[in-house]
């Protein structure tokens, strides 16, 4: 870690503004606005729970949600300063932006594919198509052309000796995937929850990504210029509050969590109860080896033309600086 990064860790762990020489904590300042993308996936669960519980406000932050479901749109907004925090699945665009010098860094690892967990992502077959028939050959697959769902689909199919590049792949809107599988327009789809639960009721869940790629870093959190350089203390405060949201999310399908997420996501409660919830580590340390594996795959498939180094991609100082404040919240009894 560079000298400046060490100074940042010491400074922010102490929660001060005056510099590394001061050891006196200050009260939370006037609320500072942090703009964060919000999407319809359950990967937003800890973020939404943290905001609803008031954890960000306790850290002196006001969260401004920006609704964006497309990764490319969110990345452009982060690079342009219209977003301060980007969270979502790995994508070649993120890696390319870092490699080309964009002021953006991965600061935390979010959900991973837990080898001991439930099926959050899978390939689902159309109704009437059996796994034995699929093994002999599928022709049309719904999967992204260059994103993480294609990478995972390729890894899953490889366990059955099938090369994804030999298939006719297309990316359909989520709203029509079920219909397209039902009428036979596609043979299979690479899906994440809650679509696995919804569509798996009529189709067949065939291959599971947590078995083919255990520990894969599905999504990450990245900061842009504002939190990296202009106001890094706000970045540490953000991660401190976010981690408390992860703890709440990890409590699972409690009545309170189900009520909150039904209200916050507008998802059907029965689907929430039946679906697999993504797995988040409370320490937020990413599995960077899987990120680098994904980057190498993207390079080999010409989805990017240059790669970023580990030092370029991952800035550990923010999550390290949030450790002490986060741990204090876990050890202080409620009401104190």
Provide the token pair at 107.
């600061």
Highest mean pLDDT among 146-155, 163-172, 307-316: 307-316
Rounded to an integer, the average pLDDT of 212-241 is 96
The whole-number pLDDT of residue 8 equals 41
Question: H/E element holding 205?
Answer: strand 204-208
Average pLDDT, the chain: 88
Q: Find, among 152, 91, 153, 79, the residue nearest to 304 by Cα.
A: 91
Reported pTM: 0.86
Q: Find, among 250, 239, 267, the residue nearest to 323 by Cα.
A: 239
Rounded to an integer, the average pLDDT of 11-33 is 51
Share of the chain above pLDDT 70, in %: 88
Buried b (16+ CB within 10 A) or exposed e, 279-298: bbbeebebbbebbbbbbebb
| Domains contained in the chain, CATH given | 3-15+26-112+217-331 (3.40.190.10), 121-212 (3.40.190.10)
Rounded to an integer, the average pLDDT of 289-297 is 96
Provide the token pair at 206.
């065939």
Q: How far apart are CA 276 and CA 293, in angstroms?
A: 25
The whole-number pLDDT of residue 243 equals 97
Q: How confident is the model at residue 149 (pLDDT cuts 50, 70, 90)?
A: confident
Q: How far apart are CA 314 and CA 310, in angstroms?
A: 6
Q: Is the pLDDT of residue 335 over 50?
A: no
Q: Is the pLDDT of residue 240 over 90?
A: yes
Of 124 and 40, more confident: 124
Torsion of the alpha carbons at 131, 210, 241 and 224, rounded to the nearest 10? -90
Q: Is the pLDDT of residue 14 over 80?
A: no
The whole-number pLDDT of residue 328 equals 82
The whole-number pLDDT of residue 68 equals 74
Max distance between CA atoms of the chain, in angstroms, equals 69
- Find out whether 35 and 235 touch, Cβ atoms under 8 Å: no
Q: How confident is the model at residue 40 (pLDDT cuts 50, 70, 90)?
A: low
Q: Is the pLDDT of residue 9 over 80?
A: no
């Amino acid at each position: 870690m560079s000298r400046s990064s060490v100074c940042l860790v010491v400074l922010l762990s102490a929660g001060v503004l005056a510099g590394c020489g001061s050891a006196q904590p200050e009260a939370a300042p006037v609320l500072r606005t942090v703009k964060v993308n919000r999407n319809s996936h359950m990967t937003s669960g800890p973020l939404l729970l943290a905001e609803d519980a008031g954890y960000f406000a306790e850290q002196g932050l006001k969260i401004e949600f920006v609704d964006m479901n497309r990764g490319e749109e969110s990345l452009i907004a982060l690079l342009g300063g219209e977003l301060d925090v980007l969270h979502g699945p790995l994508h070649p665009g993120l890696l390319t932006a870092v490699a080309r010098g964009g002021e953006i860094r991965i600061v935390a690892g979010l959900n991973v594919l837990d080898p001991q967990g439930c099926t959050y992502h899978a390939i689902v077959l159309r109704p009437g198509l059996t796994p034995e028939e699929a093994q002999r050959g599928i022709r049309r697959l719904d999967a992204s052309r260059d994103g993480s769902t294609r990478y995972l689909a390729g890894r899953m199919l490889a366990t059955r000796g099938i090369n994804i590049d030999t298939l006719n792949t297309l990316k359909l809107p989520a709203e029509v995937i079920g219909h397209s599988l039902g009428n036979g327009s596609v043979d299979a789809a690479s899906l994440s929850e809650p679509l696995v639960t919804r569509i798996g009721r009529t189709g067949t869940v065939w291959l599971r990504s947590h078995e083919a790629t255990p520990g894969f870093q599905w999504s990450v959190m990245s900061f842009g210029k504002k939190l990296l350089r202009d106001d890094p203390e706000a970045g540490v405060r953000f991660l401190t509050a976010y981690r408390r949201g992860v703890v709440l999310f990890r409590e699972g399908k409690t009545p309170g969590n189900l009520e909150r997420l039904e209200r916050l996501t507008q998802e059907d409660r029965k689907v929430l109860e039946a679906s697999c919830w993504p797995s988040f580590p409370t320490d937020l340390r990413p599995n960077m080896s899987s990120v680098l594996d994904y980057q190498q795959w993207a390079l080999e498939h010409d989805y990017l033309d240059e790669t970023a180094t580990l030092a370029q991609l991952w800035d550990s100082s923010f999550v390290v600086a949030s450790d002490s404040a986060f741990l204090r919240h876990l050890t202080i009894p409620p009401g104190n």
